[in-house]
Amino acid sequence: MLPLAQAKELAFKEKELVSKDYSNYTREKLMTRSTYQGNNAFTAGDYLVALVHYSRAIKLYSRFVSKKQTSIANLHCREPIFFSNRALVYLKLQRYYESITDCTASIDRKPSIKVSTLAM
């Protein structure tokens, strides 16, 4: 598990990363990389690291959409996955309210059996 000081440092670096202005291609690569890193951290049991990476993917996506740069194919279908992944991390961390909130956000975007089961 990641010590709290390292988790805070990761979160600080994440704020810097998300605030930068990137091209469409770079932003999509960063979202994909964040999701991949989150998956690896989750598999290794490093839930705080996974939480940082999944949150980064969500923030990058929301900043992407806020700039009306939604021309990249398959981006909208990936958005619910960001929330469902983070919901599972919150569940593992026993942060149930946040888990339910992310499950609801994922279901609102695209209902799926995986997230619906997790929400119950």
> How do residues 14-48 score in pLDDT, each as one tens digit?
555 555 666 666 777 888 888 899 999 999 999 99
Domain architecture of the chain: domains with CATH:
4-119 (1.25.40.10)
Of 44, 117, 118, nearest to 88 by C-alpha is: 118
Put simply, whether the predicted model's pTM sits higher than 0.75 gets the answer no
Return d(Cα 86, Cα 99) in angstroms, integer: 7
